[in-house]
Structure 1
Amino acid sequence: MNVLLTISRLIDALNNSVGKLAYWLILVAVLVSAGNATIRFTLDTSSNAWLELQWYLYSAVFLLCAGYTLLRNEHIRIDIVVSRFSIRTQAWIDVFGTIFFFFPAVILILVLSWPMFISSYNIGEMSSNAGGLLRWPVKLLVPVGFFLLMLQGFSELIKRIAFLMGLIAEPGEKMHSSH
């Protein structure tokens, strides 16, 4: 179990780093948006590429931060019901939900999104908008983001099992917001 906890810490560090890097993508998106608006109003010109770049940046933040959000335990939960249970019962619910709901959904999205990226990459898919960008980079964000999310799910599962075995204290920064 110590090896798995080490792997969990490495996954946590990876998603923490990706999440903090994604903070900067928000700044870039804001600067692109402000720059595009300024140029549009002062020079009366614009490009679809700037608008698409904003969408790509926001997509990157959303998809790449999914694992980071799970690490920080900030994802949507059913705390109104679960918070009434003991921490151990909550951990069991997390283990069950991760194995039977989380992993199947994440793996399905990974399996379905990878061929879409490959196809887009192989044909050099471009935006249908005049002056638009390549599409494959944004399509790559889906499998990458869900892969990071799957890794974090594995890390959270390891931590919950280690907690249930009495090897670690309550896992996560705040396993459940009510405690």
Structure 2
Amino acid sequence: MHALLKISRLIDALTERVGKAATWLVLVVTLISAGNAFVRYLFNFSSNGLLEIQWYLFSAIFLLCSGYTLLKNEHVRIDVVAGRFAPRAQAWIDIVGTVFFMAPMAVAVLYLSWPIFVESYRVGEHSSNAGGLLVWPVRALVPAGFALLVLQGISELIKRVAFLQGLIGDPNAKSPAATPESELVRVIEAQRGGPR
């Protein structure tokens, strides 16, 4: 199990790097979007390529950060029910959910999207829009994103099993660090003179 935990830490490190790098794409897509709007209204000029690059970058953010979101334990789940269970029961719910739902779906999408990407690359597929971009780079994001999600799912599975064996702490435990929302609440309460 200790060897598997080392593999888990390597996967987590990869996911962390990809996720943090991909979050910078939010700034890039914002700048492109603002620049595109500025040029369109100021010079009455528009480009399908500029619109498509925004869509491509949004796809990259969404697909490349799915594993990162899983690493940070921020995926949408039914905490109303699962949150009432003990940590060990929650670990079992995560194991069952990963093995029977997340992993099969992610592997199926990875398997089905790979030939589409390969064919798109082989023919040099371009957008059907005038001035559009190559399509194969965005098609490559689908198998890449789901491969990262599968890897992170394996890491999370290893951590849940290690937790059940008593080798590590609860992987579902939230970090004691303040969230931006809780920090904002603290500041507002401090300005009001305390909680009400």
Q: What SS does the aligned partner of 2:8 have?
A: helix
Shift of 1:134: 0.3
Shift of 1:174: 2.5
Name the structure 2 match of 1:52. Answer: 52
Q: What SS does the aligned partner of 2:132 have?
A: coil
Structure 2: 5+ residue runs without aligned partners? 176-196
CA distance in 2, matches of 1:173, 1:52: 40
CA contact under 8 A between 1:71 and 1:156: conserved in structure 2?
yes
CA distance in 2, matches of 1:25, 1:58: 8
Shift of 1:172: 5.0
CA contact under 8 A between 2:87 and 2:172: conserved in structure 1?
no
Report the number of matched residues: 175
Shift of 1:41: 1.1
State the Cα RMSD in Å. 1.1
Name the structure 2 match of 1:109. Answer: 109
The amino acid of 1:53's aligned partner reads I
CA contact under 8 A between 1:72 and 1:174: conserved in structure 2?
no
Q: TM-score, normalised by structure 2?
A: 0.87
The amino acid of 1:18's aligned partner reads V
Q: What SS does the aligned partner of 2:168 have?
A: coil
Q: Which has the larger radius of gyration?
A: 2
Shift of 1:152: 0.3
1:152 is aligned to 2:148? no
1:16-55 equivalences under 5 Å are 16-55=16-55
Runs of 4+ in 1 over 4 A off after TM superposition: none
Q: TM-score, normalised by structure 1?
A: 0.95
Identity value in percent: 63
Q: What SS does the aligned partner of 2:46 have?
A: coil
Q: Deviations over 1:103-126 (max 9, x none)?
A: 111110001000110111011110
CA distance in 2, matches of 1:58, 1:173: 30
